[in-house]
């Protein structure tokens, strides 16, 4: 039975400061590091063959820290795609036995957090004073109303769900156990698809930082356990 594990990144330094983060690329806080390690301990006995993360450092830190708690001797390795005249083969593993001793880590912008537009970098209390608490609540908790120059949850799902269906699901169907480390809203979109949630249900869905959500995949069906 193939497995899928989802995990929201640990607390970031901007989460700690109560700032809208979105695509701003900030690292984990000390608490976030501990959350990532604890999340890893909770899945220490789960088999993992392939890891997907967003391109943002807080998700990648969480994935790597979580993997340090694994009993597996395999090493997670980020599979870079180089540009600007850098030869892609420079990161190639040539030793014949090493490829069987790694867990490929694939980064994808499609798994990035919801982009919060003009709210990014603003303290949430300051934003409420400027735009009004009701307006901030609409932007944060509605399904299809984006903040200025930002994304709604619906728009986030329009990039996240196709990536999950077209790139990740085929890997699971081939028998690979997959670990996805991403963000509150990109993971909400995926869970909306997996659990058949409606718009009202998905905006109420809360995902704790560093907490794994686990599914079995069997007979073309994902089942939470």
110, 113, 176, 183: which is the annotated catalytic residue?
113
Q: What is the CATH number of the domain that holds 211?
A: 3.40.50.1240
* Model confidence at 83: pLDDT above 70: no
Rounded Cα distance, 204 and 183, in Å: 15
Q: What is the mean pLDDT of residues 160-180?
A: 98
Range of the domain at 217: 2-224
Q: At what angle do helices 133-141 and 124-131 cross, to 10 degrees?
A: 120
> pTM of this prediction?
0.95
Q: For position 101, what pLDDT does the model report?
A: 92
Q: For position 84, what pLDDT does the model report?
A: 63
Strand partners, 78: 105
Q: For position 15, what pLDDT does the model report?
A: 96
Structure tokens, 130: 């400027």
* Model confidence at 111: pLDDT above 70: yes
Number of domains in the chain: 1
Q: At what angle do helices 30-42 and 57-67 cross, to 10 degrees?
A: 50
Tell me, letter by letter, the H, E, C secondary structure of 8-57.
ECCCEHHHHCCECCCCCCCCECHHHHHHHHHHHHHCCCCCCCEEEECCCH
Q: For position 94, what pLDDT does the model report?
A: 87
Q: For position 30, what pLDDT does the model report?
A: 98
* Model confidence at 93: pLDDT above 70: yes
Whose tokens are 């909306």? That residue is 192
pLDDT digits (tens, 9 = 90+) for 178-215: 999 999 999 999 999 999 999 999 999 999 999 999 99
Q: What is the mean pLDDT of residues 129-146?
A: 94
Q: Is 9 a catalytic residue?
A: yes
What are residue 220's phi and psi, to 5 degrees?
60, 30
């Amino acid at each position: 039975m193939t497995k899928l594990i989802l995990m929201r990144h640990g607390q970031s330094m901007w989460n700690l400061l109560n700032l809208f983060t979105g695509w701003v690329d900030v690292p984990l806080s000390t608490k976030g590091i501990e959350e990532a390690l604890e999340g890893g301990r909770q899945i220490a006995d789960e088999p993992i063959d392939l890891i997907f993360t967003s391109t943002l450092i807080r998700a990648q830190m969480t994935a790597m820290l979580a993997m340090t708690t694994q009993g597996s001797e395999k090493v997670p390795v980020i599979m870079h795609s180089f540009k600007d005249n850098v030869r892609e083969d420079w990161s190639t593993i040539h030793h014949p036995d090493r490829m069987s001793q790694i867990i490929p880590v694939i980064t994808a912008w499609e798994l990035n957090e919801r982009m919060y537009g003009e709210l990014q970098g603003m303290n949430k209390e300051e934003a409420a004073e400027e735009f009004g608490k009701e307006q901030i609540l609409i932007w944060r908790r509605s399904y299809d109303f984006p903040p200025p120059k930002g994304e709604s949850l619906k728009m986030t799902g329009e990039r996240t769900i196709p990536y999950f269906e077209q790139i990740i699901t085929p890997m699971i169907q081939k028998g690979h156990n997959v670990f996805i480390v991403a963000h509150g809203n990109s993971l909400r979109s995926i869970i909306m698809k997996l659990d058949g949630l409606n718009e009202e249900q998905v905006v109420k869905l809360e995902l704790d930082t560093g907490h794994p959500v686990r599914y079995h995949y069997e007979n073309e069906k994902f089942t939470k356990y």
